[in-house]
Chains A and B, each alone.
Chain A
Amino acid sequence: MTVAVTKTEAERALKSQFEAKFDALPGNEWVRGLRREAFAEFDREGLPTRRNEPFKYTDLRALIREVAEFSETGNMPVSETDLYDVLGVDLDELDAYRIVIIDGRFNRELSHFDRAAGLEVMPLQEVLDAPPDWFRAEFGKVNPPPGSNPVLALNTAFMTDGAVIRVAEKAVIDKPVHLISVTGSTQKIAIAHRNFVTVGAGAKITLLETYAYRRMPFAQRNAATEMIVGDGAEVHHLKYQNEGVDALHLSTWMTRIGARAKYNAFQFALGGGLARSQIYARFAGEGAQADISGAMMQFGRQHCDLTMLVDHAVPHCTSRELFKAVLDDEARGIFQGKILVRPHAQKTDAKEMARALLLSPRAEFDAKPELEIYADDVACGHGATSGEIDENMLFYLRSRGIPEDLAKTMLITAFIDEAIDLIEDEAIREAFKKISCGWLGCR
């Protein structure tokens, strides 16, 4: 049932901007068709409200009051030194290939990936202007969300650029690939960008996506990544979200996992005023395993929503999900995780858990773990907990002379590290731990 409602100011702004900017957006006629289709899909229902079940806790229609101008280019350049400031010493020193996106635009000067054998990187904009067959065959179809998804639709409608990454069959990329998306503009801007990643059969790659800001903490971002994990491939896919305090962060990951592949995903969410991250992962071949986990640390009045759907579409696959949230002040953390086991997906082994640690009586955690199982020979489980710091543990530490603040920090660190420890790449894992310590220190 569609109820005719008055468009909000934000929805009207999106429509007028789409019409005004359409001609200047990259892409051939096929891409323009995709954009029109996507915007029409968005325009039918507008921004999602809480009555739209997947957006139950994140009513974007109420939360997004205004839409900034979609920028074609930021008004300020971002330098190598700026990147250091953005990343902090721990991530800046990460020995990695770099792909840099500034204000939604692929930046060649700051990127360096040329010496990686088996790794091909192209700006999305160029690919959209002349899409090759392999791209046309898969783009937007890798693993789209079920039904209409306004966040993704807006991304498709407005996407300017991004990274297209292809890893050759059996290639082992020797260092992590760090895809750094930074907003550098001093004006309030909106940006939409998109990545498309194919990992060939038997290949191996670690991809870290960092989302951060340089100058002003209020950008509106809509980012999406589509990824095909080839048969027998091994992918470590990470996200570090460190947007500004007033920024809007919309993110969608769509992943299709091939047979016998290993897909380890981790999302680490810190910055951002209003964040909505969506993860859609689908098993497309038997014998694959996935670990999709994450940690969020939020304070002030931050709102951080992580919504996930793991689709066991084939038999004999294993998935694990562990999400941890540390919430202070009036922060609100949301975890919605659905595991779908389709009728033929026998021998599915899936377990998910979400846990929150509330550091303030006004912090809130909403958890909705769901199992939807249509096969009868499976092992599935889920759970969710939320609570305060354990008083008994705290007293135990203090009774040994450890001051209260340090004792709390030790317990919070222990709590969040259980998730961070799932990251296999040691350098990234240790960098995230330092970032988490920093968060606890300056909270």
Chain B
Amino acid sequence: MLEIKNLHARIEEDGTEVLRGVDLTVPTGEVHAIMGPNGSGKSTLSYVLAGRDGYEVTEGSVTWNGVDLLELEPDERAAAGVFLAFQYPMEIPGVATMTFLRAAMNAQRKARGEEELKTPEFMKIVKAAAEKLKVRPELLKRPLNVGFSGGEKKRMEILQMSLLEPGLCILDETDSGLDIDALRIVAEGVNMLRGPARSMIVITHYQRLLNYIVPDRVHVLSKGRIVRSGGKELAEELEQSGYRDFGEEAA
């Protein structure tokens, strides 16, 4: 279970307060959507959860299955089961995708005190996961994300997610930059990973992603706080009315 209590965070560089008291509980096995207009703090929330530098938490707490996440380095959070699917996955020239996948999988295993994967075993696991998520084998031979299309990058994120088997998945604007076909494939991949032992936070501006990844709960983030929560029908309501009711300009 993820518990966020009264979380305040600001941008280190200029001191802008972006999160102003976020309260959110995501029980194990549930998928929660966080919706909100641009600038409401959605991406900041995802970065603070994943441990990116450049943000300062001034108040509040984040615990994941009883572990204080804010005390951990980003790689320690990953080993603890946190996974952030990036809005804009980084292109990393010179780092082969397979080398990267192996380093990530083995680092997490090592952190958990498990044995590292042997090459044949690793190859088998990656191949099976790639087939399931319709990731072209050629992509695995390239440097990480370099020259990938928007859809390919997002699929690579979901592939990583399936290989690392996190307990908490945070999907930051996974729908951005995707056409409807790519969106469907990515959503199918996400749905495959839904399960009773896994919590997910789906961050999105638009309701359309939630047609494919149907959430258990929907929260509206506005000006750094959760201002409303409800069932999946809340997303549809927002689609009709926009974010004006929350004191924001229509996006």
Contact = CB atoms under 8 A, between A and B. Distances in A.
B244 interface: no
Contact of B93 (A397, A400, A402, A418): A418
Contact of B90 (A393, A401, A417): A393
Contacts of A395: 50, 52-53, 74
A404 B75 contact: yes
A135 interface: no
A18 interface: no
B92 interface: yes
Contact of A398 (B78, B92, B94, B100): B78
Interface string A406-424: 1100110111011000000
A410 B104 CA distance: 11
Query: Which of B79, B90, B164 gathers the greatest number of chain A CB atoms within 10 Å?
Result: B90
Given A397-B100, A398-B73, A399-B74, A417 B107 contact: no
Given A396-B86, A400-B104, A401-B164, A411 B92 contact: yes
B192 interface: no
For this complex, into which size category does the number of interface residues on chain A fall?
20 to 34
A401 B104 contact: yes
Nearest to A414: B94
Among B51, B84, B92, B93, max chain A CB count under 10 A is at B92
A407 B99 CA distance: 12
A166 to B, nearest CB: 39
A406 B103 contact: yes
Contacts of B108: 400-401
A261 B30 CA distance: 66
Interface in A358-403: 391-393, 395-403
B86 to A, nearest CB: 7
B111 interface: yes
B216 to A, nearest CB: 25
Contact of B107 (A391, A392, A406, A415): A406
Contacts of B89: 396
Interface centre among A393, A400, A406 (most CB of B within 10 A): A400
B53 A402 contact: no
A417 B94 contact: yes
Nearest to B163: A400
Contacts of B50: 395, 399
Given A398-B78, A402-B107, A418-B94, 11 more contacts: A391-B53, A392-B90, A395-B50, A397-B92, A398-B75, A399-B86, A401-B107, A401-B164, A410-B99, A410-B100, A414-B143
Interface of A: 391-393, 395-404, 406-407, 410-411, 413-415, 417-418
Interface of B: 50-53, 73-75, 77-79, 83-84, 86, 89-90, 92-95, 99-100, 103-104, 107-108, 111, 143, 160, 164
* 4 shortest interchain CB distances as A-B pairs: A414-B94, A401-B78, A401-B108, A400-B104
5 contacts: A400-B75, A400-B160, A401-B164, A404-B73, A414-B143
